Amino acid sequence: MQSSSSISSPPGPLFAGVFSVLPTPFDSSGELDLASLGRVIQLYLSAGVNGLTTLGVTSEVARLNEKERSTVLEAVVRHADGRVPVVAGATSNGLRTTIEYSRTAKALGASAVMVSPPRLAQPSSDALTGFYAGLASAVDIPIVVQDYPPVQGFTIEPAILARIAREVPAARAIKLEDPPTPWKTARILAEAGPGLRILGGLGGVFLLEELVAGASGTMTGFAYPEILVRVVRLYQEGKTDEAADVFYRYVPLMRFEFQQLLGVALRKEVLRRRGAIADAAIRAPGAKPDPATLAALDRLLGWLRREYKEDSWISI
């Protein structure tokens, strides 16, 4: 296994391609299932992802205690074994706790941290830029600014995100999840100057359009990462029409999986069917799919198998 210092400086550019956001598997009693986590990581690495992200919304991070956070991150870093960078969520509702989470992430071998801004009464440009500048001055680690209004509680204007990127060198990557993401991607890049990396999210449902707008990839928990990898690679090779063919073919599956309230549970159910996790359990009060939703999933997967059986690169 490589040392933490080698893991924190992986070869090649950070924040390009596909970063898979990992779920946190639990057993039927709600305890961590690290064996299943290892299988999920192997599935994603075999799909060719460029990085892994843990302790995010898809990871049910809000339902993990402090010890579990560290246990999960240690397991992810160990399984990744330096093959790809690991991004650790470090969001909290205050700068002091965010610094503590980020220091722990760095000590455990994370390559970068992903941080949404805290909920602020007045989320001004100065306040948001100052928050990330304060974090960067306290912890020497790359920062992914997560722009996801349901977490932060407000919308961030493109000009503010561009300012953060210009004034905080450590924070020159954005996980953009505030639709319309292609529109916002283009405007941030136009104002930020060279070197900024923008990754989409939202289950990958706007991936192609985000790439066309200038995004460098995506960071999402979609349970078929090989689809995302194929779209990004084809697009990067200049084969836009072929990338579009793959994207339009499988975007119904992305859309179905990314349902409000049920997204995490559906991803776990798909990963269970793929043999990666033993139980699709989520922790309370997370919603679980009902029989009608599972029947709809069966119908969609069956349709994809029939229509695209020639796609030997993927097993639906």
Sorting pLDDT into bands at 50, 70 and 90, what band is 9? very low
CB atoms within 10 A of CB 189: 21
Under a CB-based contact definition with an 8 Å cutoff, are residues 255 and 222 in contact? no
Q: Which of 11-15, 217-221, 294-298 has the lowest mean pLDDT?
A: 11-15
Number of helical H runs and strand E runs in the chain: 13, 8
Provide mean pLDDT across the span 64-68. 97
Strand partners, 88: 54, 113
Query: CB-based contacts of 291: which residues, under 8 Å, 6+ apart?
Result: none
Query: CB-based contacts of 307: which residues, under 8 Å, 6+ apart?
Result: none
Tell how strand 112-115 and strand 143-147 pair up: parallel
Provide mean pLDDT across the span 263-281. 97
Provide mean pLDDT across the span 272-284. 97
Residue 148 has pLDDT above 60, yes or no: yes
Provide mean pLDDT across the span 232-241. 98
Give the whole-angstrom CA distance, residue 213 versus residue 209. 6
Cis omega (within 30 of 0) for bond into 180: yes
**210: exposed, middle or buried (C-beta count within 10 Å: 0-12, 13-18, 19+)?**
buried
Give the whole-angstrom CA distance, residue 300 versus residue 257. 11
pLDDT (0 to 100) of residue 185: 98
Residue 3 has pLDDT above 90, yes or no: no
pLDDT (0 to 100) of residue 194: 85
pLDDT over 90, % of the chain: 93
Provide the mean pLDDT of the chain. Answer: 94
CA angle centred on 314, ends 202 and 276, rounded to 5°: 70
Name the DSSP letter for residue 22.
P
Express each pLDDT in 96-143 by its tens digit: 999 999 999 999 999 999 999 999 878 999 999 999 999 999 999 999
Structure tokens at 32: 């961590």
The position carrying tokens 């009902």 is: 290
* Structural domain spans, the chain: 4-255
Residue 214 has pLDDT above 90, yes or no: yes
Report the CATH architecture of 4-255.
Alpha-Beta Barrel (3.20)
Alpha-carbon distances of 303 from 26, 33, 298, 307, rounded to whole Å: 30, 32, 9, 6
**137: exposed, middle or buried (C-beta count within 10 Å: 0-12, 13-18, 19+)?**
exposed
Under a CB-based contact definition with an 8 Å cutoff, are residues 203 and 258 in contact? yes
